[in-house]
Amino acid sequence: MRRNRVSAFALVAAMMTLLAILPLRATNEVINYVDINKIKAEGMQRSQVMDLSSWLSDVYGPRLMGSPMYAKAGAWAVAKMKEWGLVNVKIEPWINRNGFDRAWTNDKFYMEVVSPDPFPIPGTPTGWTPGTNGLVRGEAVLVTAITAEDLAAYKGKLKGKWVLTQAVPDVSAYWTVISKRYTLDELAAMELNPTPGLEFGMTPPGQRAGAPIAAAPAAPAPQAKPAAAAAAQQPGQKPAAQAQPAPAGPGQFGGFGAMNARNEFFRAEGVLGTLSTAPRGHGIYVISGNRAADPATTLPAIVIPAEQYGRIGRILAKKIPVTIEADIKNTYYPNPDVFNVVGEIPGTDKADEIVMLGGHLDSWHAATGAADNGCGVTSMMEAMRILKASGVKLRRTVRIGLWGGEEEGLLGSREYVSAHFASRQPVPAPAAGTPPAAGAPPAAAGQRGGGFGGPMGPLEFKPEYDKLSAYYNIDNGTGAIRGIYLQGNDAAGSIFREWIEPLRNLGMTAVTIRNTGGTDHQSFDGVGLPGFQFIQDETEYNAIIHHTNLDTYERLQPNDLMKDATIAAVFAYLTANRDDKIPRKPLSSVGQRGVRGN
């Protein structure tokens, strides 16, 4: 009889398949299935998450940080959580304003081509740029010049005109399905491929949420990533912040200075405003803003869809004049309230210890911020409601944090962590004559590092540092939770693998050592606290939602959000009731060891 010979590759593949299917049990976690079933029944049969999402997006959206609508959304969240019986519910102001000297709203937007033949121009002003000071009309002109020398050719020729600031983009068709869910094979690959080479799974500079970790390149790319390629993200990846401009060449302004100097040239020439777009087309455009923009020295800056931008540009290329009419009203509010929202369900015998759930309350302003991150907020609020309504016992106090200023750099969660858990002290000055470390940017005067790409000073621990068990975050859109990123915290893996057993019928199956970046769990992880983000199905997040004019209630997936809130409630419940807190990574993995503070 001839024996069948099995290749080593087949054996490895079989082992990987078994590992993906069979949970790794090592901690013998106590799971009260009676309580878990109460939570699942409340979350899946009596959900309020879509009603909450409608309130937060339809009524209280958009929520640009510091704006009156952000303040209204915070007040609504406080009132709702008090209605449910949560305690210590409050607005918690930031200690530092973080550059929010003025808030901003767009109150009116009208823009239209009036000749040679009329057509409307949809669009949104870039945050913190001024309006038009009433109805204005001017010709359009395409100016792609970057160097000071090339811009000089336009001197005296731009007064009273609208400037299209980039070449007309090519818009590709959607050749593949734009809404995606993780396959079981993809989830298994995330579990079994930790992408070694980065200690503790720390995110390389610039890496954003959900992306498989890749080794950092030896040198930065010589130019910005094309916008068309930016839309082609890995599944689950939160799109990266806009790439840095290309380094300056001979006769060019350098980096962001190039854009600032270019805009200053336009302003000095009396330009009415600037128009820009993105190559994804299909009526979709991305919005952002600069809270430090000075209205006295800034031009109206409008982002419009590629279709209207391209139409204007192609008409101009035929030497036919195009006249644009606009009436844009933007309002500035000095010294706005900047704050987070918090609330609690008290624990019992371990009430002085804390479990936290959270997401960011602020949004950009081209749409209502339903998926980024309204549904993350409402899922976590719903999780708190589920825990309260189901009546399950919680040994530790469960606290929710709704953060402001995430879109400007995780500001609200960093302020909260600094106030309650640990703060980074000023970076120690190097000894006289000591050259800076290779690749390390110098710290500006008074700068505090935080593990977000800049220098890191020593930690000063606050009284609650030893009280936090774990923080869980939702901020990858409307997709269903399929697993959890460990952020390199191996010790938590065996715990979470047992916890997901009662959640497999809700679709949660994966635990991966990988980390993910770009949102508020990093504020906790950056000071050595267990901070976690869930793995979520991408749905349409990267393709058409993230920071775009389509981030509205219609993009939300009700069944996914019901699952998300229920899973978050289960994780909070299990964390609150285990005998020990969630294990922590060694402090050496997140920076210098710190000192105890008051």
Question: Can you give the pLDDT of all 598 residues of the chain as single tens digits?
Answer: 333 333 444 444 444 444 444 444 446 899 999 999 999 999 999 999 999 999 999 999 999 999 999 999 999 999 999 999 999 999 999 999 999 999 999 999 999 999 999 999 999 999 999 999 999 999 999 999 999 999 999 999 999 999 999 999 999 999 998 999 999 999 999 998 776 333 233 333 333 333 332 322 222 232 333 333 333 333 333 443 333 333 333 333 344 567 788 999 999 999 999 999 999 999 999 999 999 999 999 999 999 999 999 999 999 999 999 999 999 999 999 999 999 999 999 999 999 999 999 999 999 999 999 999 999 999 999 999 999 999 999 999 999 999 999 999 999 999 999 999 999 887 776 666 655 544 443 433 333 334 444 567 889 999 999 999 999 999 999 999 999 999 999 999 999 999 999 999 999 999 999 999 999 999 999 999 999 999 999 999 999 999 999 999 999 999 999 999 999 999 999 999 999 999 999 987 665 444 444 3
Name beta bridge partners: 424: 459
Residue 555 main-chain phi, psi, to 5 deg: -85, -10
The answer to whether the beta carbons of residues 136 and 110 sit under 8 Å apart is no
Interatomic CA distance for residues 563 and 324, integer angstroms: 48
- 116 preceded by cis ω (within 30°)? yes
Neighbouring residues of 146: CB distance < 8 A, sequence distance ≥ 6: 252, 253, 258, 262
Residue 358's alpha-carbon distances to 60, 203, 403, 407, 481, in angstroms, are 18, 21, 7, 15, 15
pTM (predicted TM-score): 0.84
CA-wise closest residue to 235 among 512, 13, 10, 577: 512
Tokens describing residue 167: 């070449």
Other Cβ atoms within 10 Å of 297 Cβ, number: 12
Q: Given this model, what pLDDT does residue 257 score?
A: 64
Q: Given this model, what pLDDT does residue 318 score?
A: 98
Through-space distance between the first and last CA atoms of the chain, rounded to whole angstroms: 77
Tokens describing residue 175: 């050749």
Structural domains present in the chain: 33-100+336-425+448-596 (3.40.630.10), 102-172+245-334 (3.50.30.30)
Q: What angle do CA 159, 165, 167 make, to 5 degrees?
A: 130
Interatomic CA distance for residues 558 and 556, integer angstroms: 6
Pairing of strands 350-360, 396-403: parallel
Half-sphere exposure in the Cβ direction for 233 (13 Å, CA):
29
**For 163-194, what is the HEC assignment?**
EECCCCCCCCCCCCCCCECCCHHHHHHHHHCC
Q: What is the CA radius of gyration of the chain?
A: 25
Half-sphere exposure in the Cβ direction for 369 (13 Å, CA):
28
Other Cβ atoms within 10 Å of 88 Cβ, number: 13
Half-sphere exposure in the Cβ direction for 206 (13 Å, CA):
11
**In which residue are the tokens 């808030």 written?**
103
